[in-house]
Amino acid sequence: MNELKRLKSIMQEQVRKIKKPTAVRWLSLHEAVVAVQESWGCLVLMLENDATPNAGDTALTMSLLRDIKTYSFISLLCVLRDVLEPLTKCSKTFQRDVIDIEDATMMLDTTRDSISALPDHLGTHLTALNAALADGKSYQSISLQVTEQQKATTIATCRKFVGALQSEAGKRFPAEDMSSLKKLNKLLNPKHLPIARDALMTYGANVLEDLAEVFPQVQGDRAKAD
């Protein structure tokens, strides 16, 4: 880690602590991906330096170097970062002590739209990578050869990953449940209440009927009377 800091200092880049991701928090995964993606060039240089005959366990070092000094590795890191940025923002919204249903559903819809667009409209970080490597140039001071087939493979992987995320989101946030939450928000959120007395007397009657059908244990007549 000290050598990595030294290399980043020489290259005048920000030193980030590489954190261990956890399986249950988008935030920790995002931070880990950002740290590795931004330190990728220095990691490659460090491994190349450690791969010298007198550096010790060169077999492991060479194996790691072969894995990470590839377009596949860095491009998928960029894809992960492009995907995780909107997901992390959405996750933070749902971690608040007090959640406004309207804000939460809006954030969820925005996140879905952002992620869904990625396979056809490349994210910021993958676009920057491809632009840097165009015409044989380097990315983070590392030269890589990239083919159109490799780019297509990355896009296909991105599409598959995004599809899996969309499927999981559909399971966790079913459309019917989200519709009911929006109706509850309209009914119970004070900021939606009308000011006029006459409008207030009849406000939410149709929404209440819909909710009574969704929750059959509450009798419609009783709900309307209450």
The residue among 37, 31, 38 whose CA lies nearest residue 15 is: 38
Residues 6+ positions from 194 with CB-CB distance below 8 Å = 200, 203
* pLDDT at position 211: 75
* pLDDT at position 224: 47
Instruction: Please check whether residue 154 is in contact with residue 76, taking contact to mean a CB–CB distance below 8 angstroms.
Output: yes
CA 80 to chain centre: 7
Sequential pLDDT tens for the chain (226 residues)? 455 555 555 445 555 555 555 555 556 788 889 999 999 998 998 888 887 766 566 788 888 999 999 999 999 999 999 999 999 888 888 888 877 777 888 888 899 999 999 999 999 999 999 999 997 789 999 999 899 999 999 999 999 999 999 999 888 888 888 888 788 777 777 777 788 888 777 777 777 777 777 776 554 455 445 5
* pLDDT at position 190: 77
* pLDDT at position 213: 75
Dihedral sign for Cα 80, 83, 87, 88, please: positive
Instruction: Please check whether residue 114 is in contact with residue 106, taking contact to mean a CB–CB distance below 8 angstroms.
Output: no
* pLDDT at position 220: 47
Against a cut of 0.85, is the pTM above it?
no
In angstroms, the CA 226 to CA 219 distance is 11
* pLDDT at position 124: 95
